[in-house]
Amino acid sequence: MRAFLLDTAGSVLPEGLRFFKPGWWVIHLLAVVLVFAYGHRKGRLDERRERGGSRIEPQPPKAPAPPKT
C-alpha cells in the first residue's frame, strides 16, 4: 500500500518539484538540526560569558617555592 502511494505521488508533482525525494528530505533535515544545535550552543556560551565566566573558579597562582640550600 505504501509503495503504491509513493509511486502515485511522483506523478502528481509538477516537473519542478520532482527532486523532493527521501534523500533530499534527510539532507535538509540534518542541515536544519545542525544549524539549530550550533545556534543553541553558541547562545549558551554567550550566556555563560555574560554571567561572568564558567562554573569552575580559577585557582590563584601559587607562591614560588623557597630556594633550596
Give the pLDDT mean for 47-59: 72
**What global pTM score does this model have?**
0.49
The DSSP 8-state label assigned to residue 15 in this structure reads G
pLDDT band at 34 (very low <50, low <70, confident <90, very high): very high
C-alpha cell, 8: 502515485
Q: Which residue has the higher pLDDT, 23 or 4?
A: 23
Residue 27, pLDDT score: 92
Where do we find the cell 502528481? 12
